[in-house]
Amino acid sequence: MRFKKPQNRGPEDFSRIRLPHENEGEMFAIVTAMRGAGKLTVDCDDGKTRMGRIPGKMKKRVWVRLGDLIIVKPWIVQSDERCDVVWRYLKTQSNWIQRKGLIKTLSYDS
């Protein structure tokens, strides 16, 4: 049985980066402090500081660190104070987002 060799087909295709769904209330945020027990303080793109919560499905799979760029979704009840973490970006992804100018009001230093 003969196996095919992988062929070089030119430069790699770019991977798509998840962006916040603004119609669902999602927005960019930067982690400013880790509070422990799956909680953190974030500066959101709308200029407010919220207490974020890492949901159980992300707790052991995604490690959120200080200074990370994330997507958050504010709670319905306490929308000015609390939010859930939806997505965490890698450093290369956050640099690309910053270069494209998609971060509106946050001062992000990579």
Residue count (the chain): 110
Q: What distance in Å separates the CA atoms of residue 34 and residue 7, rounded to the nearest whole number? A: 46
User: Parallel, antiparallel, or unpaired for β 82-88 and 49-53?
Assistant: parallel
Q: What average pLDDT is seen over the chain?
A: 88
Domains of the chain, each with CATH number or no CATH: 22-100 (2.40.50.140)
Spans in the chain with pLDDT lower than 70 = 1-15, 107-110
Residue 27: what pLDDT? 96
Half-sphere exposure of 107 (CA within 13 A, CB side): 1
Half-sphere exposure of 12 (CA within 13 A, CB side): 3
Q: Name the DSSP class of 11.
A: S
